[in-house]
């Protein structure tokens, strides 16, 4: 075997490895996005979150998942043409204790190509103060572009989206609502309970 033949073979192997690596790169990147499975009494759904877009928000959310904070909480605010919100109250409408608020990353996430407030996306709920989000989240059931960050408003930090089980979200958004606990409206008459939230 000559050096020339060896070089050609080595070069061919190198090209193959590079091409194989290129073809596998998108798959590897896709696998890097953590997924969380929610089991509710209305069905199951899975969300995929993007630490490369909103790292502090995702870390905060996943820590609540690891701490089992969401297990036993309810969707306490359901507006069928807007969004479904949960993760803060148990079935007795007692608010769960939370860690300090997470820094708002709405504009930064959007600038990095993160998802917008469209159907199926998940975002952090907060008060009128941008840096006030703790554990509560909402899932958009309509395209709510007015919630996106802009130069005029901080908007809401979208950090992932539902990748399976959207039929469960549709079922939740369609449930009859009324008053419940401290809330005068938009509370499911039959409680929608998050039985478990598990990092896959």
Length of the chain: 200
Query: Do 25 and 39 share a structural domain?
Result: no
**pLDDT tens digit sequence for 27-56:** 444 458 999 999 999 999 999 999 999 999
Residue 27 confidence (pLDDT): 41
Give DSSP secondary structure letters for 31-59. HHS-EEEEEETTEEEEEEE-TTT-HHHHH
DSSP, collapsed to helix, strand or coil, labels residue 149 as: coil
Q: How many domains, in total, are found in the chain?
A: 2
- CATH (domain of 78): 2.40.100.10
Question: pTM higher than 0.95 for the full model?
Answer: no
The whole-chain average pLDDT of the chain stands at 89
Are 50 and 115 spatial neighbours (Cβ–Cβ below 8 Å)? Answer: yes
pLDDT at 2 over 60: no
CB-CB contact of 96 with 154 (8 Å): no
- φ and ψ at 144, to 5 degrees? -110, 65
Same domain for 75 and 124?
yes
Domain with 6 in it: 1-32
| pLDDT tens-digit map of 99-152 | 999 999 999 999 999 999 999 999 999 999 999 999 999 999 999 999 999 999
Tell me, yes or no, whether 74 and 135 share the same domain.
yes
Q: Choose among 199, 66, 195, 48: nearest CA to 122.
A: 48
Claim to verify: residue 90 and residue 126 sit in the same structural domain: yes
Q: At CA 68, angle to CA 147 and CA 116, rounded to 5?
A: 15
Segment (H or E) for 187? strand 183-188
């Amino acid at each position: 075997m000559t050096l020339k033949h060896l070089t050609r073979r080595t070069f061919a192997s190198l090209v193959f490895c590079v091409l194989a690596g290129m073809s596998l790169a998108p798959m590897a990147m896709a696998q890097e996005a953590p997924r969380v499975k929610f089991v509710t009494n209305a069905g199951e759904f899975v969300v995929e979150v993007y630490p490369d877009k909103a790292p502090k928000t995702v870390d905060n959310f996943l820590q609540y998942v690891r701490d089992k904070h969401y297990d036993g909480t309810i969707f306490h605010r359901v507006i069928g043409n807007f969004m479904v919100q949960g993760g803060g109250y148990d079935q007795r409408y007692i608010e769960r204790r939370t860690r300090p608020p997470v820094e708002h990353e709405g504009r930064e996430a959007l600038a990095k190509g993160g998802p917008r407030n469209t159907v199926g996306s998940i975002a952090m709920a907060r008060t009128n103060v941008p840096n006030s989000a703790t554990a509560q989240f909402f899932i958009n059931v309509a395209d709510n572009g007015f919630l996106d960050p802009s130069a005029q408003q901080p908007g809401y930090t979208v950090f992932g989206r539902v990748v399976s089980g959207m039929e469960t979200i549709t079922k939740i958004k369609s449930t009859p609502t009324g008053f419940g606990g401290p809330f005068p409206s938009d509370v499911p008459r039959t409680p929608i309970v998050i039985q478990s939230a598990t990092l896959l």
